[in-house]
Structure 1
Amino acid sequence: MSQVTHSPDIRDDRLPVIVLSGFLGSGKTTQLNHWLSQRQDLAVVINELGDIGIDQHLTEAQGVPVTLLAGGCVCCVVQGSLSSTLRNLFMARKNGEIPPFNRLVLETTGAAEPSGVVAPLQQDPWLRKRFVCQSVITLVDAQAGVAALERHPECLEQVQGADQLLISKSDLCTPDSLAALKAQIALLNPDASVLLSPGPASLLDQVFPRRCRITGPLTLSTGVSLQPQLSSVSVSRHQLHSASLRWEGRLSWPHWQAALQQLGNQCGESLVRLKGLLKVEGLDGPLLVQWTGQGEPALSPMNAWPDGDTTTRLVVIVRHDNPDFVHEQVAHWQALLQQLG
């Protein structure tokens, strides 16, 4: 009789990390809130490109520890801060100082390249023993469509680095443009499955094998050449620059409308993302403004200031070859606010 051998069960007690990726304005915070509405066993780390954090105030976390990493991309500028943050979270969990989370969701900036985010988990011996990257989930903005892939190298990197792709804002585009987008991301990453957002909470439990991603020139069926240029990621990434503003004043809504229009005109086609909390006359809470690309600003009044700080705060992100451009525009805009106030 032949002997049947069984491989011993291999138990991995490391804490799973889910990297939530996607370009600026793709809907990462909306997706995160969808998960938080169903899961309480999470810890969240939010990385912001600007010096002022906004997204942590938009996160609907009840009893879930949320940590902000501001001031640059976690894949490069604040990579060391990520290591420190994960160490602190692990020890706080071990000591019972925070709820005993079972998974950690890392929401990256819209400029982050996934492999650079995963690198600390793989290269730091202390982290490697305690955390494991379980998945990279990338949102793709259907409204921005193929044009975003053509314009922003970061979009290519995020799509190619994904284990799971989620298409957001599909209700805002035509069936033909949605089909074209699906076809193109299938070319960029044929191994990843594609779902419409919001992605189910079950994705947080799905394990994907880590794989080496080797990329080269890619060509769209439309004849438009896409070149990810992963060998020169830092060049493409550093063309995205941010500037932040804090202002104690208060304006009427018509004045804010005029001021936002002026800022949009100043930045022109360089404007990639604008988000902030505005202090408006007659409102008890702030007016949340979110502006992506060349579309119209999305405005939502909030019932109360999320942190008790009633200061107007704003982050502007542009794509420009001059890193001082965005700071100059925000400085000019602040002078305009002073005149209006």
Structure 2
Amino acid sequence: MFGNDRIPIVLLTGHLGSGKTTLLNDYLSAADVEPALVIINEFGEVGLDHQLVRQTSENIILLENGCICCTVRGDLVDTLKELHDDLRSGKLAPFKRVVIETTGLADPVPVVHGMMNDFQIMLAYELTSIVALVDAVNGCSVLERYPEASRQVALADRVCITKGDLADAGAIDRVQRAVARINPSVDMTRRELGLMDRSLFERRFHSTTGVSDIEHWLGRAAGSAASLHGAGGAIRSTAIIRDRPVTWDTVSHWVDRLVARYGPNLLRVKGILNIDGADRPSVLHGIQHLFHPPEELPCWPSSDHRTRIVCIVDGIAPEEIQALFAEAEAMPSPMGV
């Protein structure tokens, strides 16, 4: 249904002082960076002055390297639609991706929900990754004190630990363990002083063509479901792992009941499914009550052919998620087989 020419969107989030602006500046200053559209909430919060060329309208700024900076004055979804219309009409120069920087106190769930819930946006854009920054110096206390910071980490595909040059090895290790308790399958990296990891903005975590990436974010689930029952305040993780193939009926019943009962509290559901009778695995991916249509991978990413589903939830006991899946498995098939 969705074409391959959709524009990638990267959502950049992180608490106040985590280094989002510095990271974004470094990326836009990198040599040979592809033209990007950067959407921010308030231009005054982002120090891009040294790159400005001219202001073309009240909220559009052109940068030296061909990138575009846009401030959001109203609804993000409306802004994305207007920008896409301007791109198609030739009012905006072509850009390769969109980077949306949230405010430090923003809960990213409504932002993602708004984009995924709009068909026009889904036709024009593709959310390829959510990157959360965590400060190595204050990260543990921030994750404990601010629920929105934990939700930023819970929703992320990749967490970048910043300010490692200001923290000792023990502090960095504690932050990494705190992140892993909240989001055990997240890809974690450290920001090295003076180095720019462009993959933070250019890696496509949600594409089914990235088979190795899918295996990576499920890697920690492969070991033990029990190890994922960590606690990040009210945010918890659990893994459903099945050695034998599952049926589409089981998955469908489970998702329907999960969404009906806990929709707003489902931060992230990601998994690879071994469907009974299918030659290839399928990918399951959902946020709150919105689930992407399952897609088949071209092949299994590794020799591990088990069904593995990672659920990150807010205020739901892991045992309840497991029980719902077991109940779905016990339901009789509608075909009587």
What TM-score does the superposition give when structure 1 sets the normalisation length? 0.54
SS at match of 1:190: coil
Deviations 1:186-226 (A, max 9, x none): 12111111111265113323111389xxxx9853xxxxx72
Compute the displacement of 1:44 (Å).
0.5
Residue of structure 2 in register with 1:41 after alignment: 35
Residue of structure 2 in register with 1:112 after alignment: 106
Letter in 1 for 2:205: F
1:27 paired with 2:19, answer yes
C-alpha distance 30-57 of structure 1, shift in aligned 2 (>3 A): closer
SS at match of 1:54: helix
2:13 touches 2:152 (CA, 8 Å); kept in 1? Answer: yes
Could you tell me which of 50, 66, 70 is aligned with 2:69? 66
Residue of structure 1 in register with 2:157 after alignment: 163
What TM-score does the superposition give when structure 2 sets the normalisation length? 0.55
Compute the displacement of 1:96 (Å).
1.9
Compute the displacement of 1:24 (Å).
1.0
Where does structure 2 lack aligned partners over 5 or more consecutive residues? 52-62, 208-213, 215-227, 237-261, 266-337
Q: C-alpha separation between the residues in 2 aligned to 1:124 and 1:11?
A: 16
Could you tell me which of 37, 41, 54 is aligned with 2:44? 54
SS at match of 1:191: coil
Compute the displacement of 1:113 (Å).
2.0
Q: C-alpha separation between the residues in 2 aligned to 1:15 and 1:118?
A: 15
2:34 touches 2:96 (CA, 8 Å); kept in 1? Answer: no
Q: C-alpha separation between the residues in 1 aligned to 2:204 and 2:106?
A: 22
Letter in 2 for 1:69: V
Q: C-alpha separation between the residues in 2 aligned to 1:209 and 1:199?
A: 22
Deviations 1:226-248 (A, max 9, x none): 2249x8x99xxxxxxxxxxxxxx
1:137 touches 1:164 (CA, 8 Å); kept in 2? Answer: yes
SS at match of 1:104: strand
1:17 touches 1:105 (CA, 8 Å); kept in 2? Answer: yes
Q: Aligned Cα RMSD in Å? A: 2.9
Could you tell me which of 183, 199, 204 is aligned with 2:201? 204
Percent identity reads 32
Compute the displacement of 1:134 (Å).
0.5
Compute the displacement of 1:102 (Å).
1.1
Letter in 1 for 2:199: S
Residue of structure 2 in register with 1:226 after alignment: 233
Could you tell me which of 5, 20, 23 is aligned with 1:13? 5
Letter in 2 for 1:200: D
2:127 touches 2:206 (CA, 8 Å); kept in 1? Answer: no
Compute the displacement of 1:14 (Å).
0.8
Letter in 2 for 1:131: Y
Residue of structure 1 in register with 2:293 after alignment: none
Q: Residues 1-341 of structure 1: matches in 2 within 5 Å? A: 11-38=3-30, 39-48=33-42, 53-58=43-48, 60=51, 61-62=63-64, 63-69=66-72, 81-197=75-191, 200-209=197-206, 218-219=230-231, 226-228=233-235
Compute the displacement of 1:57 (Å).
4.3
SS at match of 1:91: helix
Deviations 1:109-159 (A, max 9, x none): 112222211112211111111011110000001111311111111111011
Q: C-alpha separation between the residues in 2 aligned to 1:136 and 1:103?
A: 13
SS at match of 2:18: coil
Q: C-alpha separation between the residues in 2 aligned to 1:57 and 1:68?
A: 13
Letter in 1 for 2:21: T
SS at match of 1:203: helix
1:69 touches 1:82 (CA, 8 Å); kept in 2? Answer: yes
Compute the displacement of 1:163 (Å).
0.1
Q: C-alpha separation between the residues in 2 aligned to 1:96 and 1:202?
A: 29
1:218 touches 1:226 (CA, 8 Å); kept in 2? Answer: no
Q: C-alpha separation between the residues in 2 aligned to 1:158 and 1:19?
A: 10
Aligned length in residues: 203
